[in-house]
Chains A and B, each alone.
Chain A
């Protein structure tokens, strides 16, 4: 069964450093997303991406965050200058159509720890 692949599974970074989280969505999917889950809290929407541009973003997704689909297969989330509160599990997801009709396929997540 097709999978969404996320790398690395765990990343530790120092506060103020840039970090890039990588995702390979399912090949025929057209919509891509990042969600995050701070330990013990609910899963929160960050951003959706379609047709090479951001289609929607949350208030969490400020200027420190950016997304990119650099080569037609990877989908990346960059945090420019990490803060302690960015520590969370970050999930990439993709869907063949809008999530309202299909739901997501999620990756296994990247646990980001900012120290």
Chain B
């Protein structure tokens, strides 16, 4: 079985400050993990993915995430928030036993204040 928990439903930061969106996962097998972003009234865009290679993964728009097996975490970070980063972010897990589907977290709404 696989599951994912996004620890914060809302995160608010000021422009230019760091972003941290937290995600914990559960998987019976070696998981693949993803972060997707959804801007208002838009589709889902893949930000980055971990697939058992390097544990520190770099994505688009300056985001990165670190896979920590001991903590079962895959937190998303960005050193300096931009106004355009305001969106909904989803952490997603996919494991070998359920390769036909992925499980989404509940989402974290990121607000960026000027």
Interface residues of A (CB under 8 A from B): 31, 33, 35, 42-45, 48, 50, 55-56, 58, 91, 93, 98-109
CA–CA, A48 to B100, complex, Å? 6
A-B contact count (CB 8 A): 66
B46 touches A100 (CB 8 A): no
A100 touches B51 (CB 8 A): yes
The listed residue (A42, A56, A101, A107) touching B101 by CB distance below 8 A is: A56
B99 touches A100 (CB 8 A): yes
The listed residue (A50, A55, A104) touching B102 by CB distance below 8 A is: A104
1/0 per residue, CB under 8 A from A, across B98-110: the answer is 1111111111000
Interface residues on B, range: 20 to 34
Known: A43-B44, A98-B100. A103 touches B34 (CB 8 A): yes
The listed residue (A35, A100, A106, A108) touching B94 by CB distance below 8 A is: A100
CA–CA, A10 to B93, complex, Å? 29
Does B64 sit within 8 A of A, measured CB to CB? Answer: no
6 pairs, CB–CB < 8 Å, chain A vs chain B: A45-B101, A56-B101, A98-B99, A100-B31, A103-B92, A104-B44
B51 touches A105 (CB 8 A): no
B96 touches A100 (CB 8 A): yes
Known: A56-B100, A108-B42, A108-B43. A99 touches B105 (CB 8 A): no
